Structure 1
Amino acid sequence: MAYRPPAMSPSAPTFKLAIVGRPNVGKSTLFNRLVGKRLALVDDQPGVTRDLREGEGKLADLRFIVVDTAGLEDVDDDSLQARMRRLTDRAVAEADVVLFVIDARAGVTPLDQTFADILRRRGGRILLGANKAEGRAGLSGAMEAYSLGLGEPIPFSAEHGEGMEALYAALQPIADTFADEAALITAQAPETNVALPEVLGEEDESDGVADPSRPIQIAVVGRPNAGKSTLVNAILGEERLLTGPEAGITRDAIGLEIDWGGRPFRVFDTAGMRKKARVQEKLEKLSVGDGLRAVRYAEVVVVLLDVASSFEQQDLRIADLAEREGRAVVIAVNKWDLEKDKSARLRELREAFDRLLPQLKGAPLVTVSAIEGRGLDRLREAVLKVHATWNRRIATAKLNRWLGDRVAEHAPPAPSGRRIRLRYMTQVKSRPPSFLAFCNKPEDLPESYTRFLVNGLRRDFGLDGVPIRFSYRKTENPYDRK
């Protein structure tokens, strides 16, 4: 069957826009304005943004990829600021358009002049934006921006949404140029024969099967300095996220779409989570809150531990949080390259896992070395396994045969001499697997009997490593036609 790539739709992103500038000029506020969501953390103090964050920008009928970058610093050593600067330089090199933003209320600073000179020598499509241009002081600073030699400044206020029509007017001809180029490439593309996917066999309609074309959402969480960003970089195969020996480098929960072994994933790198009592600063509270949201929207949570200090109290809290949120969990122990007696240490880790996290019984425990890129294949297999289990559905007929066997094996108690009767059960949803049993006196069933049933479901249906939700409903026997 002949296949011709479809023409790019008007709503598809047509170019990539990088927002750059010195710290605290409002880049993240503008980023949030363009993507229409509060994706990037915003605070009054400078230097909040450290990693690159991408989103789909929308301005009237224009669609584009917008990149939020760290504040530009005039450093070239191996400090944290210098590593942030190199990430921003990379974003500039990969962008189709660079929007250089200054603070109109502060006017043109020496640092603005330095980076304007760098951008001017680099060439390419460069726009000059004067943010915080509301009011008389802002307009004065916007006029001063002419001195940077980057063309006519675009005055706007990202916080109040003023001046967006001027930014639209500057971006529209650029978008038209890229749309014309894309249309030309599409028209000249040769026809390609594409084989239809091979049918591997019929699936049992009772089993939940995740769509393989939809990215699996993963959140990598853990204490500060466990190596979360290093692990995500290792999975990506490139230095996409800021890393270093300093604890607490990551602040935003950065989501990255990748192809990992032929399967699409969306991986969220999150800020390190310390004990709540130690989190005092507003910015760290925002970062932790961002990470908690990533856990709630994830499908699989990778809890990353440091091999030198595994299963500390905070690790247990983080893993328990993921379980309570109903996420599938994988425990990954990082910095495995530093461990001398690996076999003995692995036995210790498995014993501690079984003892300290019984609610995650059967969840995979994988050892990795993010800095050396080892163990990533095992990690991917573990993620795919628990994700498939998390999506599993079991036919009602199978469940009721199973329930009959379990009740015959261990009958419910009979408080006050009246037997509790479990009528039937069904799976009401997956993600995580959730079951509902109907009985005549659910309020009298002890918690120990629910644990008996949940443990049996794990054992008999292979539901290891995922949370199981089990509830009851009081009802009469529906088959009793009196």
Structure 2
Amino acid sequence: MAAKPIVAIVGRPNVGKSTFFNRLLGERAAIVQDEPGTTRDRLYGEVSWRGRTFTIVDTGGLETSVDSSSDEPDPIRRMVREQAEQAIREADLIVFMIDVKTGPTPSDYEIADLLRRTNKPTILAVNKADSPQREYEAVEFYSLGMGDPIPVSAYHGMGITPLLDRVVELLPPEEEEEEEETGPVVRIAIVGRPNVGKSRLLNAILGQERAIVSDVPGTTRDPVDTEIQWGDQRIVLIDTAGIRRRGKVESGIEQYSVFRTLRAIGRSDVVLLLIDAQEGLTAQDEHIAGYVLEEYKGLVLVVNKWDLVEKDENTANEYVAHLRERMPFVDWAPVRFISAKYSQGIPGLVETALKIARERERRITTAALNRLLRDAVAAHQPPSKPGKWLKFYYVTQADVKPPTFVFFVNDPKQVQFGYKRYLENRIREAYGFEGTPIRMYFRSRQET
């Protein structure tokens, strides 16, 4: 199960990186969903172009030694640089953005030297080339030794098509799914903030008197995966212990060191999101859960270090209620309390993940779904515009992993978010699907 390639936009401050990033997500290339009720981080987005889908990530301005006025760099600037360098290390391809108005600067030369040492494919994007004269001036940047400069104007949307064509050309080849000759594999990713116990959980799972089969190489910049046999089920554990704390650079989730989390989620079937029982839920935890939802992966909310919490008979229920209140967009995700340190709750956690993997492959017959739809509509009529009633014709399950349902109606635009949630809840009440997102499409009968 391959992760999407990652493209990082880097360059010194104020060259237009964020404008370019926003331009891509505002163009028809953007496939990022905008579902209400989801905690989202806008530092990355998914772009589809000419049949390839990749993750685009914005970074902070990369300040160099020539930008510093003292021998002691500002700690915030140093953190921004470290994060940008992390982005460069983790990316599959780099868009090096520069400003045509300034011409090549000493900082541009220093960044070019840094990028050359990575041996990563790099595209030189000369921004703010919004006139024929400035497009001509882009040739000056051949002196950076980074190949052919591509003149663009992120603000006006000029030059975006040839740049994206070049991105797709340089992306790594698409990975093909390996044939599972010895049975299906469930891939479980362990994710979360630093110091919540990810590595300890990995070790606790491996220590449950289960035979380790092998170490399985992941993608080139991922940690080594661990394959185990759990009863009669093969499992690949994807660890993300390398994620670093973001410090005080920006609010929200770690900005650029989140790459490994994105990769792990993309390659997984089920995600174990660890939450520190003592620290409680953080905005970063909510963002990671949002990533899981966007990728339509299975999810378990794992409250670790439960042994350190003073509790009575109501503590667990109150904790679950708090998580549901803060993250209603993943209210289908089970909550499990564990102590990785003392290996408490580990077998049950693994069994929960395997159950979710099975739920993601569940299929419901069209006849059963249409009985459910008929009863749901009869019990609660959908909101409709005056004079034009919203009619549901039928529903069918189109796919699994995730479970995907297609509803045929007379006017898809009339289906409101609240009614979608109502239908999803009716499906879950009847058929379970615990721990997995459900994808729902609403089409007119004329659509194919």
- Length-normalised TM-score, structure 2: 0.53
Matched, 1:272 2:243: yes
Q: Aligned letter for 2:422? A: F
Unaligned ranges ≥5, structure 1:
1-37, 40-157, 161-209, 239-250
Report the alpha carbon displacement of residue 275 of structure 1 after superposing the two structures with TM: 5.5
Report the alpha carbon displacement of residue 252 of structure 1 after superposing the two structures with TM: 4.8
For residue 390 of structure 1, what is the aligned residue in structure 2? 360
Moved over 4 A (4+): 273-277, 284-287
Q: What is the correspondence of 1:208-223 to structure 2 with a 5 Å cutoff?
A: 213-223=183-193
Give the counterpart of 1:415 among 379, 385, 388: 385
| Rounded Cα–Cα distance in structure 1 between residues aligned with 2:181 and 2:303 | 29
For residue 402 of structure 2, what is the aligned residue in structure 1? 432
- After superposition, the Cα gap between the structure-2 partners of 1:316 and 1:386, relative to the gap in structure 1 and judged at 3 Å, is same
Q: Aligned letter for 1:316? A: E
Q: What is the correspondence of 1:311-326 to structure 2 with a 5 Å cutoff?
A: 311-326=281-296
| Rounded Cα–Cα distance in structure 2 between residues aligned with 1:377 and 1:431 | 24
CA contact (8 A) 1:253 1:291 kept: no
Q: Secondary structure at the match of 2:225?
A: strand
Q: Which has the larger radius of gyration?
A: 1
Q: Aligned letter for 1:260? A: W
| Rounded Cα–Cα distance in structure 2 between residues aligned with 1:458 and 1:291 | 28
For residue 64 of structure 2, what is the aligned residue in structure 1? none
For residue 131 of structure 1, what is the aligned residue in structure 2? none
Q: What is the correspondence of 1:40-439 to structure 2 with a 5 Å cutoff?
A: 213-237=183-207, 252-270=222-240, 271-272=242-243, 274=245, 278=249, 287-341=257-311, 343-439=313-409
Q: Aligned letter for 2:400? A: S
Q: Secondary structure at the match of 2:258?
A: helix
CA contact (8 A) 1:328 1:390 kept: yes
Unaligned ranges ≥5, structure 2:
7-117, 121-179, 209-220
Q: Secondary structure at the match of 1:309?
A: coil
Report the alpha carbon displacement of residue 477 of structure 1 after superposing the two structures with TM: 11
- After superposition, the Cα gap between the structure-2 partners of 1:414 and 1:344, relative to the gap in structure 1 and judged at 3 Å, is closer
Report the alpha carbon displacement of residue 396 of structure 1 after superposing the two structures with TM: 0.9
CA contact (8 A) 1:225 1:272 kept: no
CA contact (8 A) 1:440 1:476 kept: no
Q: Secondary structure at the match of 1:278?
A: coil
Report the alpha carbon displacement of residue 268 of structure 1 after superposing the two structures with TM: 0.8
| Rounded Cα–Cα distance in structure 2 between residues aligned with 1:477 and 1:222 | 41
Give the counterpart of 2:434 among 446, 464, 467: 464
Report the alpha carbon displacement of residue 331 of structure 1 after superposing the two structures with TM: 0.9
Q: Secondary structure at the match of 1:426?
A: strand
Q: Aligned letter for 1:349? A: Y
Report the alpha carbon displacement of residue 476 of structure 1 after superposing the two structures with TM: 5.4
- After superposition, the Cα gap between the structure-2 partners of 1:277 and 1:295, relative to the gap in structure 1 and judged at 3 Å, is farther
| Rounded Cα–Cα distance in structure 1 between residues aligned with 2:270 and 2:405 | 20
| Rounded Cα–Cα distance in structure 2 between residues aligned with 1:393 and 1:212 | 23
Report the alpha carbon displacement of residue 253 of structure 1 after superposing the two structures with TM: 3.5
Q: Secondary structure at the match of 1:417?
A: coil
* Residue deviations 1:237-260 (CA, integer Å, cap 9, x gap): 29xxxxxxxxxxxx9533111123
Report the alpha carbon displacement of residue 262 of structure 1 after superposing the two structures with TM: 3.8
Between the two proteins, the alignment pairs up a number of residues equal to 260
For residue 105 of structure 1, what is the aligned residue in structure 2? none
